[in-house]
Amino acid sequence: VAAPVSRTGRQRQRNARGQGARLTEDIVTGALTLIERAGSDEAVTLRAVAREVGIAAPSIYPHFADRDAIVMAAVLRIFDELTNAIVQGAAAAGPDPVDRLVGGCEAYLGYGLSHPARYGVLFSERRTSAGDYCEPVPLGPDGRPVLEFGAEAFALLVSAIQDCVKEGASDSTDVVADATAVWVALHGTVTLGTALPGFPWPAPAQFVRKFVLSLAHATVAQDHS
């Protein structure tokens, strides 16, 4: 009987003593690979992950309690990727707050549409608070408790609109509600765009700019200066 081999064909060698936690990382990576390959998290089974990583199925138990714990770890990683994409998109847009808002939103859309399987896992199940599946109250990078999935990305959106208001580029009177409207439209664009690739979608560039400006009650800098 041959030893289990990962899909890549590479045989995994045992971690050195004290480095057992590396397998935790490999399991999450394997789960992400399966999600990418199958287009959904249904393919993430203990045995499939074990095959992908190149280990025996029971070897997962010291690292994760069950399938759900693996998926959750993958979800947290994907949220990090999404947040990073938004930050970079905003940063690349320059100093103007409206440009930064639109840049962040375009990055959100770009990440979602170019990683549909990963994005689809984020909100595929009912999620209440992060405290349900790991530490009682997980902390964000700034020490504040992260109470909701995607809260970090949403906070970026709120402050981007807030910045527009500060500089007179938006006359939003309810920044949180308007940020919610923008988020909902972005999310809908990603998920419908993924589910219905045959639909005659408008060109993303103008489309997103248009509805983001509209929902954020924002106007381009030239109109205000």
Partner DNA sequence: TGTACATCAGTGAACGCGCGTTCACTGATGTAC
Give the closest residue to 35 by CA, choosing from 7, 5, 76, 74. Answer: 74
Query: Binder to DNA among 17, 203, 206, 223 (CB under 7 A)?
Result: 17
> CA 143: distance to chain centroid?
20
23 binds DNA (CB under 7 A): yes
The binder of 19, among DNA, a copy of itself, none, by C-beta within 5 to 8 A per type, is DNA
15 binds DNA (CB under 7 A): yes
Q: Binders of a copy of itself among 144-163, rule CB under 8 A?
A: 147-150
56 binds DNA (CB under 7 A): yes
What is d(CA 182, CA 111) in angstroms, rounded to the nearest whole number?
16
The binder of 181, among DNA, a copy of itself, none, by C-beta within 5 to 8 A per type, is a copy of itself
Query: Could you tell me which residues come within 8 angstroms of residue 107 by beta carbon, excluding any fewer than 6 positions away?
Result: 85, 86, 88, 89, 90
Smaller CB separation from DNA, 18 or 200: 18
Smaller CB separation from a copy of itself, 28 or 182: 182
Give the closest residue to 31 by CA, choosing from 13, 10, 52, 15. Answer: 52
Q: Where are the alpha helices (DSSP H) in 12-60?
A: 22-38, 46-53
Q: Which residues bind DNA (CB under 7 A)?
A: 1, 3-4, 12, 14-23, 45-48, 51, 54-59, 61-62, 66-67
